[in-house]
A and B are shown apart, each in its own frame.
Chain A
Amino acid sequence: MSPPLTPLDPLIVLEDVHAFYGKSHVLHGVSLTVGPGEVVGLLGRNGVGKSTTLKAIMGLVPASRGRVLFGGRPITGLPAHRVARLGIAYVPEDRRIFRLLTVMENLRTGLDRQGVDEAKRKRLIDKVLEYFPVLGERRNQAGGTLSGGEQQMLAIARAMMLEPKIVLLDEPTEGLMPRMVSQIGTIIEVLHREGVAILLVEQNVPLTLASSRRVYFMEKGTVRHHAAAADLEVGDAVIHQYLGV
């Protein structure tokens, strides 16, 4: 078993990050890295702190201890809108698209920022509609009227409008029909080809092993294990230990 190759020049570094929800100590010191353009999986059962880890990177949950570094710069404590503009996009667990805004308006929320002129806007929108033609069909429909799978696509497309260097994907296959799961796999592949790094939080083991280069396993608020995806198989003991029963 070859040791996992942690990137020499990482894009994101978490150093012993602790976080609380009120008095509940949810993250007990999380450390992990993601390299530029790398797809990294974060696996673990419910309640171990995977979503909270993403929120801590995004600045939506304050880190009580530890640091988050982006491109070498500490971003711990920055408000979420600054983190987003630095190039980190967040696709939350329940999608959270803006239900009363149309598909186009949802996309626009990511486009109204500095350095995006009319031409670039058009390019970005056209590109994402190429990947998700169904969004083009529903461009003037309110977000809340889309199906679960379409909302997931919109959530990812919206994140891509930020031209992020990394996308934090929280359980994208949650609640989706099985045939949509493979679509998610394709989308991850597409993002990867675009050079976007992905930190993929999931409970779906086959998808994660297929898409990621390295995988972290979390339990009780910390990272307990780390391996190259190529060295792992679904039936492995370590998978059962951290995800199974």
Chain B
Amino acid sequence: MPSSISTWGSSVVETVWSFLSGLPWDVIAIQTINGIVTGMILALVASGLTLIFGIMDVVNFAHGELFMLGAYIGVVVLAASGNFWVALVVAVLTVALIGAALQIATLRPLVGRDPLTTILATFGISLVLQNYALWHFGPVARKIQEPFTGQFALFYLQYPWYRLLIALLSAIIIGGLWAFLKYGTYGIWIRATTQDRVMAQAMGIPVPWVHTMVFAIGAGMAAASGVLFGPLVGVSHTMGLDWVLKAFIVVVVGGMGNLGGSIAAAIFISLLEAYASIFVSPAQAVIVSFVALILTLLFRPTGLFVPTPK
């Protein structure tokens, strides 16, 4: 008896082993890293989006354009100053201010109205920003030079250090946001307003300004993503479109308003796509994101990374 089990057992082990050793581990490792890198950028974009939704129930269709605007400002400032980091900082601050101005001018007057009106408003803003960029910068894609070139050997590839830097910086920025929300004065305002807008007001928290602040933070984060990711793709007036769609998928899969969830979802979805690209073309690999979205909506509509509501 024992010997038949052990022979059966060892043949299972052999099959599994031969399958595993047949897998292209180097490709898998590379794709894992790629997935994490893309995932971190996506997390940066998505966390701004989910923050905005969580606190003021606004679905910001202009988020991709704020990303794009950040990238373009990065291009301009980089050309003027020659310094990538200066470009990054200036882009973030400028877009944050633009975001605040947009929120005050177009979204504040719409508070309390049908949510469809805010969706239309942000969609309108996205069209305006896209066409402005097209008009001002022209249809030819621009390039942002990464702050340093330099690669290291990763299996059979020469892998750029810059890509790792992006992941690291995104993690730092998101970590900073988390710390700000947890410990900062305004962080408490934001969290209180997200939980109970009415009581926050009754405690003297100026809720309209908190909304503006959150929108500005979200916009700034989108801009940072734009500048950081700029060197990897081209900077064009339509670059926001791909990203906003992915970001929305991430926000839904991660749970709307759930910051930790959207970060987890961003990495999860990016990894899925990265692994899928091993077998199919990247254009087709995008399908897995949509499959994830549909499955989430069917079975866990509040978000995959959200504890089941009681």
Contacts and interface: CB of A to CB of B under 8 A. Distances in A.
Q: Do chains A and B touch in the complex (CB under 8 A)?
A: yes
Interface of A: 58, 60, 79-81, 84-85, 89-90, 92, 96-101, 105, 108-110, 112-113, 158, 162
Contacts of A112: 185, 188-189
Given A100-B195, A101-B195, A60 B202 contact: yes
9 contacts: A79-B201, A80-B201, A81-B200, A81-B204, A81-B205, A81-B206, A84-B202, A97-B199, A101-B192
Contact of A109 (B188, B206, B208): B188
Contacts of B192: 98, 101, 105, 109
Nearest to A90: B202
Contacts of A101: 188, 191-192, 195
A212 to B, nearest CB: 23
Contacts of A79: 201, 208
Nearest to A97: B199
Given A85-B204, A108-B188, A99 B199 contact: no
Given A109-B205, A113-B204, A162-B203, A80 B188 contact: no
A53 to B, nearest CB: 15
B199 A84 contact: no
A60 B205 CA distance: 13
B307 to A, nearest CB: 13
A109 B189 contact: yes
B185 to A, nearest CB: 5
- Ranked nearest first, the 7 interchain pairs of A and B with the lowest CB-CB distance are A84-B204, A80-B201, A90-B202, A109-B203, A85-B204, A96-B199, A81-B201
Contacts of A162: 203-204
Contacts of A84: 201-204
A96 B196 contact: yes
Given A101-B191, A109-B189, A92 B201 contact: no
Contacts of B59: none
Contacts of B200: 81, 109
Contacts of B195: 98-101
Interface string B174-204: 0000000000010011011001101111111
Contacts of B196: 96, 98
A110 to B, nearest CB: 5
B227 interface: no
Contacts of A60: 198, 201-202
B207 interface: yes
